[in-house]
């Protein structure tokens, strides 16, 4: 996916995001931070040295990130996981094909699966995927804990040790897109 296409998609998404709660708060960053995060994730998947064909989004909520990931031409399988059944129903409606999906077509078939699940528990449906994203998880009433960046990096390291075929990439950037931390 080229950057102009993605930028256009971000602009379109932002203009149609009237239902988002974020619209009611003043924007401090341009583009808004959530769009910058989506951009970073999509570029990491789209430009990876080995084509990423299967992706899971843990804590997918309403499926906003998935709307962009599904436009990456070489992605063939997307799994969306969240523990909130209500937001998963909303995500299911949001990722349905739109007119341009039929007009532009795809070189490879795309399968999208939406599962109710807990990101803190092992899930065999995620075995064998090329990439797993956990872009941002919001506080739910039943959250038991919150991780710091260092705790998350430590968890990633442990998963990579247990699953020797996994490799991790953690990047922290600031608003000017300078890399502050890359593991």
The model's pLDDT over 41-97, given as tens digits with 9 standing for 90+, comes to: 999 999 998 999 999 999 898 999 998 999 999 999 999 999 999 999 999 988 888
| Strand-pair partners of 179 | 173
Report how far residue 128's alpha carbon sits from residue 163's, in angstroms, rounded to the nearest whole number: 10
Is the link from the previous residue into 31 a cis peptide, with omega within 30 of 0?
Answer: yes
Fold of 3-146: Rossmann fold (3.40.50)
Report how far residue 65's alpha carbon sits from residue 63's, in angstroms, rounded to the nearest whole number: 6
Residue 177 CB burial class (10 angstroms; 0-12, 13-18, ≥19): exposed
The model's pLDDT over 99-131, given as tens digits with 9 standing for 90+, comes to: 888 888 888 999 999 999 988 888 899 989 999
Task: Locate 150 and state its tokens.
Answer: 């260092």
Contact partners, residue 160, CB within 8 Å, separation at least 6:
166, 167, 168
Domain boundaries, the chain: 3-146, 148-183
Report how far residue 180's alpha carbon sits from residue 174's, in angstroms, rounded to the nearest whole number: 7
Neighbours of 154 (CB within 10 A): 12
């Amino acid at each position: 996916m080229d950057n102009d296409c993605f930028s256009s998609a971000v602009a379109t998404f932002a203009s149609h995001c009237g239902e988002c709660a974020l619209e009611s708060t003043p924007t401090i960053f341009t583009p808004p931070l959530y769009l910058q995060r989506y951009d970073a994730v999509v570029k990491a998947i789209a430009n990876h040295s080995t084509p990423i064909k299967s992706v899971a989004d843990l804590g997918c909520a309403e499926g906003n990130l998935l709307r962009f990931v599904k436009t990456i031409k070489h992605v063939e399988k997307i799994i969306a996981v969240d523990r909130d059944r209500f937001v998963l129903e909303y995500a299911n409606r949001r990722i349905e094909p739109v007119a341009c999906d039929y007009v532009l077509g795809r070189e490879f078939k795309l399968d999208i699966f939406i599962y109710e699940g807990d990101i803190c528990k092992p899930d065999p449906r995620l075995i064998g995927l090329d990439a797993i994203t956990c872009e941002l998880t919001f506080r739910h009433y039943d959250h038991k804990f919150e991780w710091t960046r260092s705790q998350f990096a430590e968890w990633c390291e442990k998963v990579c040790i247990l699953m020797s075929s996994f490799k991790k990439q953690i990047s922290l950037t600031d608003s000017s897109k300078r890399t502050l931390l890359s593991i």
